[in-house]
Amino acid sequence: MTKQQITEAIQACNERGDKAFVPYIMAGDGGIETLKETILFLQKVGVTAIELGIPFSDPVADGAIIQEAGERALAEGVTLRLVVETVASFKDEVTVPIILMTYLNPIIQYGIEEFAEDCRNGGISGLIIPDLPYEEVDLVRDAMTNEDIALIPLVSLTSPPDRIEKITAAGEGFIYAVTVNGITGVRDGFEGQLEEHLKRLKAVSSVPVLAGFGISTPDQVALIGSFADGVIVGSAIVTALHKGDFKTVEKLVNASKNKVPSI
């Protein structure tokens, strides 16, 4: 898939009256051999795209649940290269965009150009690097552009207007709007200015705006989704998959759709 297909998949959801739903999963949690089954299950229940996390020893943006999932994956010997190779092995069965979320160090260790080429050949169409600031994005931009890989930026609640304009102008695929100050994880509520923040982003962005961090219940999916073009759900999905609780996953996905949940 191309990076434009990420944007198009989100827009197609919105045109149907739905909101995009992007689950975050930790690659290799439960063993790398489970990755294909998990991705195809998520695809079947109607997700828009999949954010595929890479386990890392110093995950500064991750809360406890995702850190623990990463530790389980690392204990299974999962690496960035192994994930890319595994996704490539069943790419012809995947019909939704796959977006990798990885820290910068594993990409540098892999080799930036080689990594970008392998992603393209493996059917991966987007990349999120949470510890790569906007000012240093040129480190990887050319390599990703050459292979048609979207560099998806994160925008925080505390970003000033001029910085937001710069980040959104360079955004590809979608803008990842961080809904809380801090790390990922399940939360009971959100900052009072979140609706205004998301509206400001939508006003200046030429690509869709998806909200993520802390969204963990169907009600939150529906509420936060109403302010944005879609949502990203991580910790709640990781927990449900770890427990084999597939009904909870379906309920979360269905909450993004313009219908009463079927379960």
Q: At 193, is the pLDDT very low, low, confident or very high (cuts 50, 70, 90)?
A: confident
Measured at the CA of 49, the angle between CA 43 and CA 50, to 5 degrees, comes to 80
> Strands (DSSP E) along the chain, which ranges?
20-26, 50-53, 98-101, 124-128, 150-151, 154-155, 175-178, 209-212, 230-233
pLDDT of residue 259: 54
Residue 187: pLDDT over 50 = no
Domain spans of the chain, in order of start: 3-151+221-254
Fold of 3-151+221-254: TIM Barrel (3.20.20)
Average pLDDT over residues 6-32: 97
Q: At 190, is the pLDDT very low, low, confident or very high (cuts 50, 70, 90)?
A: low
Residue 2: pLDDT over 90 = no
Q: Which residues are identified as catalytic?
A: 51, 62
Nearest Cα residue to 256 out of 224, 222, 212, 214? 222
Q: 147-168 burial, b if ≥16 CB within 10 A, otherwise e?
A: bbbbbbbbbbbebeeeebeebb
**pTM of the model as a whole:** 0.93
Nearest Cα residue to 129 out of 138, 121, 137? 137
Write down the mean pLDDT value for the chain: 91
Residue 262: pLDDT over 50 = no
Alpha-carbon distance of 110 to 115, in angstroms, equals 6
Question: At 123, is the secondary structure helix, strand, or coil?
Answer: coil
Question: At 40, is the secondary structure helix, strand, or coil?
Answer: helix
Residue 179: pLDDT over 90 = no
Average pLDDT over residues 138-144: 97
pLDDT tens digit sequence for 103-120: 999 999 999 999 999 999
